[in-house]
Amino acid sequence: MDNNPEKVDRVTDGEFLLDLAINATPNEKSEVQAILRLRNEFGGFFGAGQSIEVRELWARGIIADIVRYRVGDMDMVMTPFTLFNPDEEGMVNNPSIFQPQKDLIYYEQFYAEGNQRRLQGAKVDMGLNFSKGLKSADVMAFISRIRGADFFTTPTRFVGGGSVDLLSNTFNDSLGLKADLGLNLAYTWDDLTVGEANSGIRNAVTTIDFDVTILEQSKMGLHLRGEVGRSNLNVLEEDSISVYKIDDTFLEVGAALELKPQHLTLSVSYVDVGPDFFSIGAQSKRIGFDRPKSYFNRVGADNMVRMPGLFDISRDRSMYTFQLSDRLMNYDPRLSNTSPYGRATPNRQGLRFGLDWKPADERIEASVTGAVLNEIRGQGTNELKSFNLIRAMANVNFDKMIDWKNKLRLTLGYQYENTSRSGLEVEKVDLNSNLLEIGLEAELFANFELLAGGTFLTSNGRDYIPLIETFNVVKDFPDPFVSDDTEALLGAGLRYNFKKDTYVTFQYQNYSFARKTDPNNDYTLSQVFVLYTMNF
Amino acid sequence: MKYNNRFYLFPLLCLFLVLTACEHDTDQFDGPGLVDRFGEFQLLEGLTISRATVDFSAGETVIFGARFNKRLNFTLRITGMESGSVKTIQGFDNELNANNAVWSGGTTMLPLFKREMCQVELIIPDENNLTLTGMVEIVGTKSYEGSLFTDFETPLGANLFTGNFEFELTNRTGRQNDMPAAQGDWYFLFEGTDNVVPNFFVGLADISARVTGETYIPFPTTVPEDLYFNAFIYADGGPHGIAVIQFVYDLNNTGLFEDGQDQTFQLAGDYPLDFTGWRQISHPMSDLGITQAQLSKMVGIRLLLISNMNSQPSPPLKVDYGIDFITFTAGGPLEL
């Protein structure tokens, strides 16, 4: 730190991880798998730092050639409002230089493709085909235990539910007219029959989602998509007396137009998510901003707790969680103020739009998404906040442009967000933030790449961040959130790809944080690391 | 274009969903008001007092008023200029009115108010203790519920017997008005030193039920669980004294208090005199193990002054206490 007479701290650590999958198929209809983790922390005295644990365990199969089942660890996703793991904030088009550490976080936290959530329980599903009217029906049901009881005041918590997905036949062959309708239920409840606990929650989210193909032809496609539903939250005490009950609704409906010769997809949707809409399975975030950090949790002459920044989000596994939270988690308004809890963020009304361009030659691909939203109910005032968000990304593959056999790729990402509110002077809000990402991958010679990139965040203005007590109940507003920050995360390094998903990378990264309102506590962090990854 | 009839269900479904999905509760904003939390304070209307004089015995009350631009913590403190009694009303609001700032004559800190002038202070702690003041005069004190046994305002005469058997009580023992009483002007003072016959016992005082004009103490109820004994006790912090209060049951049905023949009941643990100032004591009569039949024939109350010789130095120090406003209430303790 500047003007800090204290000596700069250094931390050295490392580990060797081996996840060994043991897979068996006792018969043609059953399969079991276990993943054992062997971990050796560098610096442990020859065996003293080792640990072995079971990382994954499941069995699956098919019953009577009709019903598929899975028991044990499983990855589940339903809709963005029922069971969904929304992407973390602070990222639009992550530069490749930072991706190895992100991949490690995703692997450790079981963040699977498609925003799935890791659960432990049981799932069954089956599909039916029809000859008239309806083409197919897929039915799925699941149950999972997400928290154990302590046999005193904390009851066991389960999440369960299911979906019925109905796909129609094509109504009109020349137009490609058809409909896909889904019925969804996600239900979270506490089991009060075990132990001494006599208070618990019931959170039910029921939705209908639809995708109606208005037009599907060789040159154009037009879809009408959306989801609508309701949530109920009930808090019980003395086993059955309801002491708190709240429910609300949401709606998201829009259209997507695909211009196939131009490789363009345009979408627009209207969103209305009620202020009391509460969905544990969809609103739980990946990043817990109040979790202690692994690196330099405190900084400065005053030994103050360091605010999480781009450095922590890009590499610190302890900041992340895959657990479901029964209250709206803390968020950083500089990184995501419009939809901190994903599309299920409550108290939002307005329009979302998007434009995707992905030509077949893959020379350039780009997309722009945005939102113009308002609060539905005020916080601390009857005045309502307005949110304007625009996100853009582009990947430029120079090697395909100049027909070069080695990879040469530039990635760009940008996000601008503005939050505003009028009213009395003390009620006014005006917070602006910009996030810029630049990445470069250059294959110098066969399988040997130079990586470089940077992520930059600037933020200025003022907002009020609510202190959530339980569920989505606003208890208080701590001091106004005032920001005039600049963060910069830069990295450069080399990567050698042995083959797909097996590589070693050596990198140097430097991070700086500056706040104009408190320049004495500006600081920089830097890291040198080697990461070897092998998937086989 | 030719559409299947079933297709038209979808726009209708969408319309239905839109119409039913968009109603939300927007009556009240979430969380505390930002103006209340962070706005600059403005006094819109100063302290008002609804009347200059108040007769609480006639059921009158005093309503205080003030208005601020935001909700905040406030404290109303009413102090008796003669008794030193204090009534405190606290709240969190942007306005003082009949809903949150009414005084019915009670007190927060003993003694009770007398017919006296009172100073009123409205204090805003979060605004550098901004204080607004006013005055109100009590011309009639509050009437408290329950049955009064004695408040020592008039001499007890033959209804009071003071037992100074070991000549350890001082001459000041008896009715006194040398300091503010807990109620009215007079109280009963017990004072002495256990240095003649060091046996813990200093002296006693027997108050006959006839002080009420009845043979037996008239209670508002004789159900022990519902009947509460209340009194105000004064201590000066000297840690060696103990007050004992006994209730005398007419075991031989003579209608008189006969020592050695009648049965006494007292609270386990008694009352250590290790505090300073006036303090209210209250307990249900069921705590004494007394029955309803016995309550119908309570012939008196005995007060004792004990010196705790286990803690006293040598020579022992003087011990004392005051007692005032002995009452019995039904359903709960005396509410001040």
Residue range A328-356, pLDDT digits in tens: 999 999 999 999 999 999 999 999 999 99
Query: Are B125 and B45 in the same domain?
Result: yes
Query: Are B299 and B186 in the same domain?
Result: yes
Query: Are A225 and A339 in the same domain?
Result: yes
Would you state the pLDDT for residue B11?
A: 59
Would you state the pLDDT for residue A270?
A: 97
φ, ψ for residue A283, nearest 5 deg: -100, 0
| Torsion sign over Cα A439, A442, A446, A448 | negative
Say yes or no for a CB contact (<8 Å) between B14 and A424.
no
Which of B140, B169, B202 terminates a domain? The answer is: B140
Q: Which domain holds residue B251?
A: 147-330
Say which residues have a Cβ less than 8 Å from residue A47's Cβ, sequence separation at least 6. none
Tokens of B93: 């609001």
Residue B117 contacts A, CB cutoff 8 Å: no
Which of B140, B162, B190 terminates a domain? The answer is: B140
Query: Are B59 and B179 in the same domain?
Result: no
Average pLDDT of the segment spanning A41-46: 65
Query: Are A10 and A70 in the same domain?
Result: no
Which of B140, B162, B192 terminates a domain? The answer is: B140
Query: Are B127 and B165 in the same domain?
Result: no
Query: Are B131 and B221 in the same domain?
Result: no
Say yes or no for a CB contact (<8 Å) between A376 and B2.
no
Count of domains forming chain A:
2
Which of A63, A89, A109 terminates a domain? The answer is: A63
Q: Please, which pLDDT band fits residue A386 given cuts at 50, 70 and 90? A: very high
Query: Are B195 and B279 in the same domain?
Result: yes
Q: Please, which pLDDT band fits residue A5 given cuts at 50, 70 and 90? A: very low
Q: Please, which pLDDT band fits residue B154 given cuts at 50, 70 and 90? A: very high
| Chain B residues whose beta carbon lies within 8 Å of the beta carbon of residue A250 | 21
Convert the pLDDT of each residue in A401-438 to its tens digit: 888 888 999 999 999 999 999 999 999 999 999 999 99
Convert the pLDDT of each residue in B163-197 to its tens digit: 988 888 999 999 999 999 999 999 999 999 998 88
Convert the pLDDT of each residue in A271-328 to its tens digit: 999 999 999 999 999 999 988 888 888 877 677 788 899 999 999 999 999 999 989 9
Query: Are A127 and A180 in the same domain?
Result: yes
d(CA A71, CA B63): 69
From B17, which residue of chain A is nearest by alpha-carbon distance?
A228
Say yes or no for a CB contact (<8 Å) between A380 and B6.
no
Query: Are B58 and B84 in the same domain?
Result: yes
Within-domain flag for B9: no
Would you state the pLDDT for residue B21?
A: 55
A49-63, A478-492, B127-141, B292-306: least confident range? A49-63
3-state secondary structure B108-170: CECCCCCCCEEEEEEEECCCCCEEEEEEEEEEECCCCCCEEEECCCCCCHHHEEEECCCCCEC
Would you state the pLDDT for residue B1?
A: 42
Would you state the pLDDT for residue B9?
A: 56
- What's the CA dihedral at A101, A107, A113, A114 to 10 degrees? -90
Task: Return residues 336-395 of A near B (CB < 8 Å).
Answer: 376-382
Query: Are B172 and B130 in the same domain?
Result: no
Which of A42, A63, A84 terminates a domain? The answer is: A63
Instruction: Evaluate if residue A534 carries a pLDDT over 80.
Output: yes
CATH of the domain at A75: 2.40.170
Round the average pLDDT of chain A to a whole number and report it. Answer: 90
Q: Bigger pLDDT: B4 or A491?
A: A491
Residue A482 contacts B, CB cutoff 8 Å: no
A171-180, A188-197, B15-24, B72-81: least confident range? B15-24
Would you state the pLDDT for residue B54?
A: 97
Within-domain flag for B336: no
Within-domain flag for B126: yes
Say yes or no for a CB contact (<8 Å) between B7 and A177.
yes
Instruction: Evaluate if residue A80 carries a pLDDT over 90.
Output: yes
Instruction: Evaluate if residue A6 carries a pLDDT over 70.
Output: no
Say yes or no for a CB contact (<8 Å) between B37 and A177.
no
Q: What percent of chain A has pLDDT over 90?
A: 70
Convert the pLDDT of each residue in B232-279 to its tens digit: 999 998 889 999 999 999 999 998 888 888 999 998 878 999 999 999
| Chain A residues whose beta carbon lies within 8 Å of the beta carbon of residue B39 | 424, 426
Within-domain flag for B6: no
CATH of the domain at B52: 2.60.40.1930
Task: Classify A383 as helix, strand or coil.
Answer: coil
Q: Please, which pLDDT band fits residue A199 given cuts at 50, 70 and 90? A: confident
Compare CB distances from B35 to A168, A424, A474 and report the shortest one's residue. Answer: A424
d(CA B31, CA B11): 39
Q: Please, which pLDDT band fits residue A200 given cuts at 50, 70 and 90? A: confident
A65-79, A231-245, B131-145, B273-287: least confident range? A231-245
Query: Are A111 and A51 in the same domain?
Result: no
Q: How far is CA A174 from CA A171, A179, B1, B76, B179, in A?
A: 9, 15, 9, 81, 105
Compare CB distances from A382 to B3, B29, B31 and report the shortest one's residue. Answer: B29
d(CA B173, CA A370): 87
Query: Are A106 and A167 in the same domain?
Result: yes
Shortest CA gap B4–chain A (Å)? 6
* Closest among B237, B238, B298, B228 to B263, alpha carbons compared: B298
CATH of the domain at B321: 2.60.120.430
Query: Are B73 and B123 in the same domain?
Result: yes
Query: Are A147 and A161 in the same domain?
Result: yes
Say yes or no for a CB contact (<8 Å) between A382 and B4.
no
CB A57 within 8 A of CB A33: yes
Compare CB distances from B18 to A208, A251, A474 and report the shortest one's residue. Answer: A251
Query: Are B109 and B233 in the same domain?
Result: no
φ, ψ for residue A115, nearest 5 deg: 60, 40
Query: Are B168 and B79 in the same domain?
Result: no
Identify from A208, A377, A482 which residue to disrupt to test chain B contact, counting B C-beta atoms within 10 A and taking the largest count: A377
Q: What percent of chain B has pLDDT over 70?
A: 94
pTM greater than the 0.90 cutoff: no
Average pLDDT of the segment spanning A454-474: 93
Query: Are A144 and A30 in the same domain?
Result: no
Within-domain flag for B280: yes
| Chain B residues whose beta carbon lies within 8 Å of the beta carbon of residue A247 | none
d(CA B327, CA B333): 10
Would you state the pLDDT for residue A357?
A: 96
Query: Are A249 and A131 in the same domain?
Result: yes
Query: Are A41 and A178 in the same domain?
Result: no
Instruction: Evaluate if residue A7 carries a pLDDT over 50.
Output: no
Task: Return residues 22-41 of B near A (CB < 8 Å).
Answer: 22-26, 29-35, 37-40
Tokens of A106: 């995703």
Query: Are A42 and A73 in the same domain?
Result: no
Query: Are B203 and B262 in the same domain?
Result: yes
Q: Which domain holds residue A523?
A: 66-534
- Which residues make beta-bridge pairs with A431? A419, A461
Query: Are A18 and A105 in the same domain?
Result: no
Residue B7 contacts A, CB cutoff 8 Å: yes
Shortest CA gap A274–chain B (Å)? 6
Say which residues have a Cβ less than 8 Å from residue B136's Cβ, sequence separation at least 6. B49, B51, B52, B53, B54, B62, B78, B117, B118, B120
Q: How far is CA B115 from CA B62, B80, B102, B144, in A?
A: 15, 9, 19, 15
| Chain B residues whose beta carbon lies within 8 Å of the beta carbon of residue A464 | 34
Convert the pLDDT of each residue in A93-135 to its tens digit: 999 999 999 999 999 999 988 999 999 999 999 999 988 778 8
- What's the CA dihedral at A39, A43, A48, A50 to 10 degrees? 0
Which of A63, A92, A110 terminates a domain? The answer is: A63
The continuous run of DSSP H or E covering A312 comes out as helix A310-315
Query: Are A1 and A92 in the same domain?
Result: no
Average pLDDT of the segment spanning B107-129: 94
Shortest CA gap B10–chain A (Å)? 8
Ranges assigned E (strand) in A404-516: 408-421, 429-445, 448-463, 467-468, 474-476, 481-499, 502-515
Instruction: Evaluate if residue A247 carries a pLDDT over 50.
Output: yes
Say yes or no for a CB contact (<8 Å) between A177 and B3.
yes
